[in-house]
Amino acid sequence: MSPRHTDQAAGPAEASPAAVGAEPTDGERAAAAAVLRMIWGVHMSRAVYVVAALGIAELLADGPMTAAQLAQATQAHEQSLYRVLRLLASLGVLTEHEDRAFTLTILGERLRADVPASMRSWAMLVDCGGGMRSFEPIIETVKTGKPGLNIAYGKGLFEFLAARPDQAQQFQAAMSDRTAALAPSVATGYDFSPMRTVVDVGGGNGTLLAAILRANDHLRGILFDLPSGVADAATAFQAEGLMDRCEIVPGDFFQAIPDGADGYILANVLHDWDDATSVRILDACRRAMAKDGRVLIVERLIPDDPADAVPVLLSDLTMLVVTGGKERTNAEYSQLLTDAGMKLARVQPVAPPYGIIEGLAP
C-alpha cells in the first residue's frame, strides 16, 4: 500500500475519536440521553393520542382495569395496547399494578373530557391539522416556507377542515378548551370600562366574548366569524342570558368587518397568518373602528428566558407546518400595527403565556 493510500485510510479514524474507542464523558452521555428523548418525542405524543382517541382515560375514570379489559372495551389488540399503556406508565400518565392493571395519575386525568384543565382535545389536535403527514415534508417547509399541510394535501388548514367535518369539530373543541382557560384573565384583567361595544373578530362559538360580557355589565358585544364558526353560539349565549347584549354576525373578515365599535378583539387569530395577511386583517379593523377605538390582539407572548419560551416556540413550529403563520415577539406585533396604520399602546400579560397587545389609531 502506498503512503498516499495509508494516509487516506487513516484520515477518518483521526477525525473521529469515537472510531478508535474513545469513551464519552458522563456529561456527553447525559446530553445524548436528552437528545434521544427529544427524538422519541413523537412516540410519546402518539401514545398519548391512543389513550385520548380510544377513550381509555374515560374507561379508567371509575378505577383500575386490566389491559385485557381495556382491549376488549376498545376493540384493540391486547398485547399491542399493553405496550402503549406500559410506556405511558413509565412516563407518569398511568400507574401499572399487578396483573397488567392500570389506573390514572393526575396526568392521565387530563386526558378525560369534561374535567378541569382537560387536554383530551389537544391530544387529538395534531390529527386535526393533517396528522403526521403534515410534518413529513418539514425539510421542504424549512427551505421554502410553504406549510407542510399545504404540501401534503394541496390545500390550507381551513380548506382541509371544511372537507372533514369530524376533524373540524375536534379542532373547534380544542380551540374552545384553549379559549375557556384564557377567557377569565382577559375578561377581568383588562379595563373595558371606556368601551361600549366590542367585536370579537374570528370569535368562534363565543367563549371569550361571553366571559367578557359576564364580567362587564355595561358592554354590548358582536360575535363575528364564518357561518360554520358561529353556528352553535346562539344556544350558549341564550343559556347564559346574554343574548340581549350580544349580536351574532356571520361573515368573513377578509370581506368586511362590523363597523362602529370601540374595541376589536383578535384572539388567537393573527398567529394563523403571515405578516402581510395579518396587516390586512388589522387594517380592516382600523378602518371599521369608531373614533378613539382600539384593537386588542390576544396571543401568546414569547418569554425572554429560552427555557420558559419552549411551549410558545413549539406552537410557533406548529404554525410553520400547519398554517403558515407564526408566534411573534412584542416588537413584531408593534411592527404589524405600524404597518396597519396604528401604534402599539401597551402589552398587558394575562394568563401565561398570553398577553393583550393593545393597538390604537395614531
Q: Give me the domains of the chain, ranges plus CATH numbers.
A: 41-121 (1.10.10.10), 179-360 (3.40.50.150)
pLDDT band at 13 (very low <50, low <70, confident <90, very high): very low
- Measured between alpha carbons, how far is 267 from 182 in angstroms, rounded to an integer? 10
Residue 11 has pLDDT above 60, yes or no: no
53 CB contacts (<8 Å, ≥6 apart)? 123, 124, 127
Q: What angle do CA 234, 236, 237 make, to 5 degrees?
A: 65
For 162-186, write each residue's pLDDT tens digit: 999 899 888 988 988 899 999 999 9
Stretch 257-265: mean pLDDT: 97
| Pairing between β-strand 220-225 and β-strand 197-201 as defined by DSSP bridges | parallel
| Helical H segments across 77-164, by residue range | 78-90, 106-109, 120-123, 125-128, 138-144, 148-153, 157-162
Which positions are catalytic?
Answer: 271
Element (H, E) at 93: none
Cβ of 216: how many Cβ atoms within 10 Å? 19
pLDDT band at 83 (very low <50, low <70, confident <90, very high): very high
- Write down the pLDDT at residue 232: 84
- Write down the pLDDT at residue 43: 96
CB contact at 8 A, 263 and 194: no
- Write down the pLDDT at residue 10: 45
Stretch 334-345: mean pLDDT: 97
Phi first, then psi: give them for residue 18, nearest 5 degrees. -60, -30
Phi first, then psi: give them for residue 130, nearest 5 degrees. 95, 0
Is the entire prediction scored with pTM above 0.85? yes
pLDDT band at 326 (very low <50, low <70, confident <90, very high): very high
Residue 4 has pLDDT above 80, yes or no: no
Residue 22 has pLDDT above 90, yes or no: no
> Of the ranges 2-11, 15-24, 281-290, which one carries the lowest mean pLDDT score?
2-11
> Of the ranges 85-89, 236-240, 321-325, which one carries the lowest mean pLDDT score?
236-240
- Write down the pLDDT at residue 319: 96
Query: Tell me, what amino acid is at 80?
Result: S
- Indicate the DSSP class of residue 254: T
CB contact at 8 A, 198 and 192: yes
- Write down the pLDDT at residue 114: 87
- Write down the pLDDT at residue 288: 96
Stretch 338-342: mean pLDDT: 97
- Write down the pLDDT at residue 18: 54
For 204-215, write each residue's pLDDT tens digit: 989 999 999 999
Residue 156 has pLDDT above 60, yes or no: yes
Greater pLDDT, 105 or 170: 105
- Write down the pLDDT at residue 228: 84
Tell me what the pLDDT averaged over the chain comes to: 92
- Write down the pLDDT at residue 236: 85
- Write down the pLDDT at residue 1: 45
153 CB contacts (<8 Å, ≥6 apart)? 130, 133, 134, 160
For 35-47, write each residue's pLDDT tens digit: 999 999 999 999 9
What are the angstrom distances between the C-alpha of 352 and each of 132, 208, 348, 355, 360?
28, 16, 11, 7, 24
- Write down the pLDDT at residue 7: 45
- Write down the pLDDT at residue 12: 44
